[in-house]
Amino acid sequence: MKKIKREDKVMRSTIYISTLLILLVMNLSSQSIKVGDKAPDFKLPYATKDTIVFSGVSLSDLIGKRNIVLAFYPADWSGGCTTEMCTFRDNFSELSKLDAEVLGISGDYVFSHHEWAKHLNLQFKLLSDHKHEVAKLYNSYDENSGYNKRTIFIIDKTGRVAYINWRYDVRNPKHFEELQKALADLK
């Protein structure tokens, strides 16, 4: 009887440890992109206030020209996202002086992006990641809500991740200031 109980305890311990290891690996991979990593490449259709480009733009085509701000956001036309994109719009010339190109990325279709960009007079591209493949690649997709998380990445001219804010807060001006400082440090 004792032998069975001991084997049972060993089996439970093994299952418990295995489960913990699986959870640990899942947690580590959930934010697998780190500063210094090569940025995962992608190609997405986009819209601006003036046009829709179904053939899209790839990250690799932009590497080396300017530093790139990838701004993942939940949805066009929402309050927080409007605040975020208007902050980029209102600081566009400052960001340009810091040699940065802003790319907004959400799951909305390019048609929504185009109308929203016209409405807000946005000077930068809004990329359509309708299947959230790029957001998942950058761990910027929330499975529970079905929307992108609000995350910011700076990709430097060498194609490396230079800055990450996993919880960009549009109501906290310090977050935008940190983004500007990170861009200034790349000059």
Residues carrying an active site annotation:
81
Q: Output b/e per residue, 85-106; b: 16+ Cβ within 10 A.
A: bebbbebeeebeebebbbbbbb
Q: Which two tokens stand for residue 3?
A: 């032998």
The CA distance from 134 to 107, in Å, is 10
The CA distance from 178 to 165, in Å, is 9
Measured CA to CA in angstroms, residue 164 lies from 16, 139, 183 at distances of 34, 11, 12
Question: Facing residues of 67 across strands?
Answer: 100
Q: Which two tokens stand for residue 35?
A: 């500063």
CB 71 within 8 A of CB 102: yes
The CA distance from 46 to 183, in Å, is 24
CA quadruple 164, 167, 171, 172: dihedral positive or negative? negative
DSSP element (H, E) containing 92? helix 92-97
